[in-house]
Amino acid sequence: MTERLNEGTGRCLATAQLVIKPTRPAFELGAAPDVFATILNAVHHANRHGDKGDFIGVSFPLLRKVRGRLQTGDEAVLFGSETSLEALLKLEGLATLQRRQMVQTPDIFEAEVEPGELGAAYVRSRWAEKYTSGGIRRRKRRDQKRGINLPDSAYRYKPDRNELVLHYGQVPLSVKQVITQMTEQPILVSTYGFSSSQALGVLPVDAQEVERDREAA
């Protein structure tokens, strides 16, 4: 029997948090992007195969601009239940990172959603997807049907400097950080671990740490 994979959104319980940081040698070797890509793919796998009532949410509290473009910063903080986060660490990708000492020893801590306090939602947008080869072909076809003929340069990638562009293989995904109040509503995230603009999934990220990092950037 074929396993039915999860689609759409699921609930992030956010009762625990897992902090994952690349090691100094990983940064020095320029391998940090690969480390974060492995983390993101592991979360996507876990959410696709896991319990829709216990999805894992992704945050980058140290998000910062480098040369005018947003970068992940030095750590990823994942939210879920202790059970889902412990299972995540056992997946092959993350187990390999630990075995090769590409990440510092991951720690799971208690997390708490406090309605009324500031947190952060990491909202997926479709900006970068317009510039995949398939997205460009679709835009060209639409323009041609409308009688609009533009040079190829019009379809070149134009990054939104207020969004973080992540990659899942060849697939780009844009994320925007929104600092806002936590609520009593369930936190909903996609299989990628991110929120939607229609229903902000506000994670209990330390907003003061986020603001301090912004000021230092």
Q: Give the bridge partners for 179, in sequence order.
A: 120
Would residue 151 count as lying in a domain?
no
Express each pLDDT in 166-206 by its tens digit. Answer: 877 767 788 999 999 999 999 999 999 999 888 899 999 98
**How far apart, in Å, are the Cα atoms of 149 and each of 78, 132, 146, 169?**
45, 19, 9, 31
pTM of the predicted protein model: 0.83
d(CA 25, CA 203): 30
pLDDT value at position 140? 67
Would residue 133 count as lying in a domain?
no
State the average pLDDT over residues 42-69: 92
Q: Are 197 and 123 in contact (CB under 8 A)?
A: yes
Kindly tell me if the per-residue pLDDT of 24 is higher than 90. yes
In the chain, how many domains are there?
1
Q: Are 127 and 163 in contact (CB under 8 A)?
A: yes
Domain that includes residue 198, residue range: 9-127+163-205
Would residue 85 count as lying in a domain?
yes
How do the residues of the chain divide into helix, strand and coil, expressed in percent and rounded to 5?
A: 30, 25, 40
Would residue 24 count as lying in a domain?
yes
pLDDT value at position 129? 56
Order across the sheet with 107-110: list the strands.
57-59, 76-80, 16-20, 107-110
Would residue 150 count as lying in a domain?
no
Would residue 69 count as lying in a domain?
yes
Say which CATH number the domain at 183 has. 3.30.70.2540
pLDDT value at position 65? 81
The residue among 34, 58, 25, 64 whose CA lies nearest residue 190 is: 58
Would residue 14 count as lying in a domain?
yes
Would residue 212 count as lying in a domain?
no
Express each pLDDT in 126-145 by its tens digit. Answer: 665 555 555 656 666 777 77
Q: Give the bridge partners for 10, in sequence order.
A: 189
